[in-house]
Each structure stands twice: as structure tokens, then as C-alpha cells.
Amino acid sequence: MSDLELGPERRDAASPEHRGMILRYTAGERTNHWMVAMAFVLAALSGLALFHPALFGLSGLFGGGPWTRILHPFIGLAMLLAFLPFALRVGSENRMQPRDWAWLRQYRDVVMNREDRLPEVGRYNAGQKLVFYAIVLCLTGLLLSGVAIWRAYFSIYFPAVVVRWGAVLHALCALVLICTIIVHIYAAIWVKGSVEAMTRGRVTRGWAWKHHRAWFREIMTRAANSRPRPD
């Protein structure tokens, strides 16, 4: 399709700045994110069905106990597979910097919405970075322990003591991951405009300025540099 057919508006849609809105996530990144999210929800529901008798009823969502047991590890692997490219994309933006530790120390200002008192934030704030590392660690733990307790294919290759502690580790990593994602989801509801960033891809200038000023500065500087200078 040529640019003309798309019209002037669509032609700009992929550029960083468009009608005053800033591109935060490309269509590819959004698709990837929601694949991870769907796999997580299914993995968590099917896992929780076996986690506690009170939740065994969740196995009905997957076609009963045996199907839950069969499907869960594959859904878990799907989440891992979906998360890998996403992690490679956003990983470098999640390195902790000195200003992130300062941000964390001021957690009271964070939870009380006193953002004006906080150090400037890059593309991701310290909380988002910690969520990223928690997911990386938990998924690694879930994979290693999940293989050991996967009775249908792998458990016979592990001694009983490894399978037993593997089950403990798996349940623990699942618990930490689920709590992390609850925090992640709540943060998206709390900070208005975040959900749009991941559904529509764009955020307002005000949003970027308020929540991720260092990133905003970077985007604006780059945009200014690439524009033809009016003399």
C-alpha cells in the first residue's frame, strides 16, 4: 500500500510524535504484551486450581482436573516464550540507575501521588523496573521447578527430594509472580493514561512530562533534531 492511499494521518501514525500524542508502544509491542498477559492469566488460573482445595473449582474452566493438569505446563511455557522477546525489547530500559534508588527511598511520596517531589524518571520508573526483575526471576524459577514436577515427561529424571523442593519453589514463585502482577495491574488502573499506552500505543505529552520526564525530554530532543530547522 502506498503512503497516499493511507492518507496523511495514517502515514504519521508510526512516528514518535503524532497530533500531540507520543508513541510509547508499537503495534508489535502491544501485541506481544497482551500475549504475555493472556498466557499469564491462564497459567495462573490453571495453577491456582491445584494450589489450594478452595480454588479447585477453577479447573472447571479448563475442562476438568485432568485437562487442567495437562494444559497448565504448556500454558506456562507459552507465557515464557511470549515474555522472552518482550524482555529483550524492554530489558535495556530497565537497568537500575542511582536516581531509581532515590525514587524508591521516597516511596511515601510515590503512593501519596506527590510526584512533584520525586526525582525525574526515564522510560520506566523504579517500581516498573522491579516488576520487570521480579517477572524474570519468577519465570526462571517456575521453568526450572516446573520441569522437575512435570510428572508426565520429566519427573522420573529427578530424585524425589528435587521434585519435593521443586513443588515448594514452584508454588512460591507462582505466589510472588501473581502478587507482582496484581501490583502491576493496579498501577495501570491507578496511573490514568497507562492502559491507553498499552491498548492504543500513545500517551499525551502531559502524561509523559508528569510521569516520565527524562524520557519525554529525550523524545522531544530527538524529534526537534530530526525536524527541518525553520530559519
Partner 1 sequence: MALQSLDIVRRSATTSRSPQIREPSGGREVAKLIDTTKCIGCKACQVACMEWNDLRDEIGTNIGQYQNPADLSANTWTLMRFAEVENSKGDLEWLIRKDGCMHCADPGCLKACPSPGAIVQYANGIVDFQEENCIGCGYCIAGCPFDIPRISKKDKKVYKCTLCSDRVAVGLEPACIKACPTGALVFGTKDDMKQHAAERIEDLKSRGFEQAGLYDPAGVGGTHVMYVLHHADQPHNYVDLPADPRISRAVLLWKGFSKPLGLAVMALTALAGFFHYIRVGPDETDASDEAAAHELAKRLEKAP
* H or E segment to which residue 74 belongs: helix 65-90
CA distances to 143, 155, 159, 180 from 17, in Å: 40, 52, 57, 32
What is d(CA 213, CA 36) in angstroms, rounded to the nearest whole number? 28
What is d(CA 202, CA 200) in angstroms, rounded to the nearest whole number? 6
Q: What does 183 bind: partner 1, ligand HEM, none (CB cut-off 5 to 8 Å by kind)? A: partner 1
Closer CB to partner 1, 35 or 188, in the complex? 188
Name the 3-class secondary structure at 218.
helix
**Smallest distance from the beta carbon of 196 to partner 1, in angstroms?**
11
DSSP label at residue 119: P
Binding mask 146-185 for partner 1 (x = CB under 8 A): ---x-xx--x----xx-xxx-xx--x---x--xx--xx-x
Contact between 77 and ligand HEM (CB under 6 A)? yes
**Smallest distance from the beta carbon of 217 to partner 1, in angstroms?**
7
Residues of this chain that bind ligand HEM (CB under 6 A)? 43-44, 47-48, 50-51, 69, 72-73, 76-77, 79-80, 142-143, 146-147, 149-151, 170-171, 174, 177-178
